[in-house]
Structure 1
Amino acid sequence: MHEAADALGLSVRTPARLRNNHEEHEAFAALNADAAIVAAYGLILPPAILNAPRKGCLNIHASLLPRWRGASPIQSAIRAGDRESGVSIMQMDEGLDTGAVLLEGRTPITPDDTAGTLHDRLSELGAQLVVKALADSPTATAQDDSQSCYAPRLSRTDGQIDWTRSAHEIDQQIRAFTPWPGSFTHYKGQVLRIGAVTPLETPSSALAGTMINQELHVACGKGVVRIDRLQKPGRAMMDSAAFLRGNSLSTGDRLD
């Protein structure tokens, strides 16, 4: 977006901080804006910014607030097994995604959705809703704080698969963390990135993380998953058939 603005000759400011940054406060107030639109912005807005536009600051938040306040609402919804997600247009206040909601739109989360596919749908929905919010000035509805839950900031280490979880929980994690931060496991000292799995109804008494056959079926804390896409270090992500043409994992091998 920054590059697009530069190409159009639009001024862009990218302050590293806003708290006690009076120069940026004054520059923002000088815009004399009717409203400010915020989406996936990593800094907390201080009162001097929140109160500068005549209609305040509106946030396009990728969840059905108050569910999933915080930095990873899309990933958190898929990982938790939510059946739907959506976009909330929120009148921002000084809290973390605590402001009153002006509009919301919903979309189902399908069994095939990843964070990437859901993000793209929510982006289109959010663009439509924020235009409607600016045009119609709908009445704001306060959130019920007792129903809130937190979507934490993610790091790469969060992607390690815990094979003691159920097959469905592991599938949800992998889809939630696609494309970022990705999911991985360790095998004989190497990191294997896991791009997709299918939960199976196959029962297994094997220890969680054990390869139960040579078709990339892995025992979980409950149930079994079939690994459908995976990546070795220094190689591209590939489907299981391509992987097995050049590699083998033996029955009884452990992933951790």
Structure 2
Amino acid sequence: MKLIIATQTSLALPLIQDLYARQQLAAVWLYDVTGEDSRQLAAQCSMLGINLLVMDPEQPQVLIDHQKTLQADAIVSCYLSFLFPPAMVQALQGKLLNIHASDLPQWRGADPLFWQISTGAESSCLTLHQIAEQADSGDILFQQEFAIHPYDTHQGLNLYLSQQMPLFIAQWWSSGGIDLKPQPQRVVQNTDKPATRPDINSAGINWQQSGCLEIFNLARACNPNLGGAAFSFNQEVLYLLEATPVRYPSYGLEAGTIVHIGEPEGLLVACHDGVLRLDVIYLSAGIFSGLRFAERYQLQAGQSFDSYPITKREKQDGRNNSQYNELCR
């Protein structure tokens, strides 16, 4: 077996190193070498003497010819945002593969881990599938289930899966590899959701709509790649990196309102279904524990956090937190 690994991040390095050690690596195709991470990956490959080709979206024929020259059995796309052009998909039909971290067709798209963590999924699977013209719609070759720990963050789970890639590919190959009969994906159901790249709305906290567990999961999904789950306080954006649902009375306070500040409970905030402890907060001044943040900026019980983006209702309410503004100057 000889594989080409197409990637743009050092998360693919464990798989690259394993295939290289087994003499099963034909080449690495690297997309977008402008970032520090991809430059370091390129340097690692060069140091090992690995055949390295920088991918140019405008020149698919170069990639097709490279595969033919190397006589690689397959090209495996791994942590790659690049969509192969239709001409290349047709020319390399059956040899152009992708590793996707979901049970396709559920969570087709750019960031399946974000959506699975943010919705509280307890398990998922790595899926090796053929690349088709429509993203993540190709026939399935091999799948392997993995657990999602309730404390996994987006980056933590990505790193774990990165370490599992060598075993995943080895098991696929020992099960038949490229000769396995591809299985069509099941028919897409209404319950199947897309895994679009998270934006300001999907990565922001809506205190009125989200419960304690939803915010807890959103903070994990946004940690650390998006800086945390965004919310605001008197027009400054804050990012929640870690939170914990706790047993504590909310006293009927509106969601987003500070319920309690102090030892040993911490910074407690009301949600519509309970109380949430804000454990770790990132802002322009640095990273703080929730309690340290509240004490530093002299927050008080009864003050309220806003959603991000701020909701129409919160704009109409008009938060009065001028003391915090004064301290932040």
Q: Which TM class, normalised by the smaller chain length?
A: 0.7 to 0.9
Tell whether the 8 Å contact from 1:28 to 1:49 is kept in structure 2 after alignment. no
Aligned partner of residue 2 in structure 1, secondary structure:
helix
Alignment of 1:44-193 (within 5 A): 44-52=83-91, 56-135=95-174, 136-137=176-177, 138-147=180-189, 148-155=192-199, 158-164=202-208, 165-181=210-226, 182-193=228-239
Deviations 1:184-210, CA, capped at 9 Å, x for gaps:
221123222211010124353212211
The structure with the larger Rg is: 2
Residue of 60, 65, 68 corresponding to 1:26 = 65
Q: Give 1:42's aligned amino acid.
A: S
Partners of 2:64 and 2:94 lie apart in 1 by 17
How far has the Cα of 1:11 moved from its partner?
Answer: 3.8
Code of the residue aligned with 2:164 in structure 1: it is L
Letter in 1 for 2:245: P
| Residue 300 (structure 2) aligned to one of 240, 246, 250 | 250
Answer yes or no: is the 8 Å Cα contact 2:259–2:302 preserved in 1.
yes
User: Corresponding residue for 2:278?
Assistant: 227
C-alpha distance in 1, partners of 2:78/2:229?
26
Aligned with 1:145: secondary structure?
Answer: coil
Using the TM superposition, give the Cα deviation of residue 52 of structure 1 relative to its aligned residue in structure 2, in angstroms.
4.9
Structure 2 equivalent of residue 217 of structure 1: 268
Report the AA paired with residue 95 of structure 2. Answer: G
User: Using a 3 Å threshold, how does the CA distance of structure 1 residues 13 and 234 change in structure 2: closer, same or farther?
Assistant: farther
SS at match of 2:128: strand
Residues 51-96 of structure 1: CA deviation (Å, up to 9, x unaligned):
5558512211111222211111111101112121221111222221
Match of 2:255 among 208, 222, 239: 208
1:57/1:34 CA distance change after superposition, 3 Å: same
Picking from 237, 243, 246, the partner of 1:197 is 243
Tell me if 1:240 matches 2:284.
no
Secondary structure of residue in 1 paired with 2:165: helix
Deviations 1:107-150 (A, max 9, x none): 22222111122222222333312222234223322111324421
Change (3 A) 1:203 1:102: farther
Query: What stretches of structure 1 of length at least 5 have no aligned partner?
Result: none
8 A Cα contact 1:63 1:85, kept in partner:
yes
SS of residue matched to 1:17: coil
Amino acid in the other structure paired with 2:220:
R
Q: Which residue of 2 aligns with 1:9?
A: 49
TM-score, length of structure 2 as denominator length: 0.70
- CA RMSD, aligned part only? 2.4
d(CA) in 2 for partners of 1:175 and 1:79?
7
Q: Is the 8 A contact 2:61 2:88 kept in 1?
A: no
Q: Which amino acid aligns with 2:204?
A: Q
Paired amino acid for 1:226: R
Percent sequence identity over matched residues? 28
How far apart are the structure 2 equivalents of 1:252 and 1:241? 15
Separation in 2, partners of 1:161, 1:245 = 22
Q: Report SS of the residue matched to 1:146.
A: coil
Aligned mates of 2:84, 2:92 — CA distance in 1? 13
Structure 1 residue 158: deviation in Å? 4.0
**Residue type of the partner of 1:145?**
V
SS at match of 2:52: coil
State the AA in 2 paired with 1:153: R
Q: 1:203 to 1:242 in 2, by over 3 A?
A: closer
Q: Give distance in 1, aligned partners of 2:123 and 2:233.
A: 35
CA change 1:50–1:132 in 2 (3 A) is farther
